[in-house]
Amino acid sequence: MKKVHRLCPYLDTINRQVLDFDFEKLCSVSLSRINVYACLVCGKYFQGRGTNTHAYTHSVAESHHVFLNLQTLKFYCLPDNYEIVDSSLDDIKYVLNPTFSPKHISLLDTCDKRSRAIDGTLYLPGIVGLNNIKANDYCNVILQALSNVTPLRDYFLDERNYAKVKRPPGDSVFLLVQRFGELMRKLWNPRNFKAHVSPHEMLQAVVLWSGKKFQFTEQGDPIDFLSWFLNSLHRALNGKKSRHSSIVYKTFMGSMRVKTRKIPPVELDEKQRYSLLCTDEYAEHVSESPFLYLTCDLPPPPLFKDEVMENIIPQVSLYSLLTKFNNESEKEYKTYKENFMKRFEITQLPPYLILYIKRFTKNTFFVEKNPTIVNFPVKNVDFGDILTPEVKAAHKNTSYDLIANIVHDGEPNKGTYRVHVLKQGNSKWYEMQDLHVSDILPQMITLTEAYIQIYKLRTDR
């Protein structure tokens, strides 16, 4: 029997202003996730559509008649219970589940066309504010920075890339991948109803899969979140140890050689020290180590400030921080009992390089912040200078351009985070702090207390 679709007289009651599909898809009465419908008149979620269900009761009590099934993306008129088929509703379907064709994805980095939200606000797809639910700005800056890393973004915008990833039965960590994909598609949606996105579902998955290590009710550290998030995505995509086993490692993984030697105790005399140094225990040991980001140590800030020094903020060049990885500089590491000297030699540079500038030091009593300003160029940072000649010869390109810069402002344990992002389509820089998005001059970025930076390898030479 052929289904007859009736014309619905209630389509003009739909209020697109109140529709928000960023929140968890659960019934506002029973809190169930099964068979949930959105009322397109008031924006609330209800379960079921048969008689005595919450959606049915709502439609009768409030005279709200148009509903959307959040799973099947089909529209229904209640309480009459017939399906509505009307192309004028396609924009609502697209906001709930934005899709991107390969052609659309390939044009994202060349386009700088602004989109208009329902309230008339203009926004740039990809450069979109994220809602701060309570204290999740440390997650927001990471998600906004990662959404502008081209290979990662392109992979997650096309759901087909990870639709066939097989996970063991009962394993639901894959939800993290799906939620990140949904968030990416919402951030880059050119037809959104509002000029910002709420990362609510993404953060719910983060809280769940980090075992509540990362919350959105208390401030966390972006570098801890970044490290956990990239490794969790890699594992959920069935990634192994090799560089090409997932999009995460393919994009960010580099490798280095770590040369470690043990230091003899200070209280020994020359002869005893010399005899110890000849043993295998005190010889230099070499190990290969992959990395997703490089940790740069800031020089300690001056201890005493006189009246003249009060206004002087200590500064250091990025290149002097990078000498840690030139295979010559040694750094001392202390454990509870022993001391070691380590040298680092980068053997493989990744396509996208993450630098973590270590600003916070924890001692027994409190956390201290180092306010040293790092001077860095925004373009053409040559990492070839810290490579050994053999490694440099193996790299075709060693110059990088900055594409994202995360900044910490304020006190060590409180403070807030913001991110500067380069929009590839128009080569302009934007500053994003939760919902606030504004353009910024590249010269201003270098004056901030940079905390995490993402660099993109130049391949134009």
Between CA 96 and CA 433, with CA 144 as vertex, the angle to 5 degrees is: 105
Residue 63 CB-density burial (10 A; 0-12 exposed, 13-18 middle, 19+ buried): exposed
Architecture of domain 249-457: Alpha-Beta Complex (3.90)
55 near 48, Cβ under 8 Å? yes
What pLDDT was estimated at residue 305? 59
Whether the predicted pLDDT of 414 surpasses 70: yes
Domain 11-92 of CATH type 3.30.40.10: yes
**C-alpha to C-alpha distance for 75 and 10, rounded to whole angstroms:** 12
**Exposed e or buried b per residue across 320-335, where buried means at least 16 C-beta atoms within 10 angstroms of its C-beta:** ebbebbebeeeeeeee
Boundaries of every domain in the chain: 11-92, 95-247, 249-457
CA-nearest of 454, 71, 94 to 293 is 454
Distances (CA, A) of 331 to 273, 290, 315, 387, 406: 20, 19, 21, 17, 26
* 455 φ/ψ angles, rounded to the nearest 5 degrees: -115, 145
CA-nearest of 356, 376, 375, 371 to 301 is 371
Average per-residue pLDDT in the chain?
91
**C-alpha to C-alpha distance for 381 and 377, rounded to whole angstroms:** 6
Whether the predicted pLDDT of 311 surpasses 70: no
Please state whether beta strands 367-369 and 294-297 pair in parallel, antiparallel, or not at all (unpaired).
unpaired
Handedness of CA 172, 70, 142, 240 (dihedral sign): positive
Which segments of 288-410 does DSSP mark as H helices, in order? 318-322, 389-394
Whether the predicted pLDDT of 171 surpasses 90: no
> Which of 11-15, 187-191, 283-287 has the weakest average pLDDT?
283-287
**Do 11-92 and 249-457 share a fold?**
no
Read off the pLDDT of each residue in 42-70 and give the average, rounded to a whole number. Answer: 96
What pLDDT was estimated at residue 268? 78
Residue 2 banded pLDDT, cuts 50, 70, 90: very low
Read off the pLDDT of each residue in 401-406 and give the average, rounded to a whole number. Answer: 97
Whether the predicted pLDDT of 306 surpasses 60: no
Whether the predicted pLDDT of 267 surpasses 90: no
Residue 461 banded pLDDT, cuts 50, 70, 90: low
Per CATH, the homologous superfamily of domain 95-247 is Cysteine proteinases (3.90.70.10)
Instruction: Name residue 382's beta-bridge partners.
Output: 399
What pLDDT was estimated at residue 314? 87
What pLDDT was estimated at residue 365? 79
Residue 335 banded pLDDT, cuts 50, 70, 90: confident
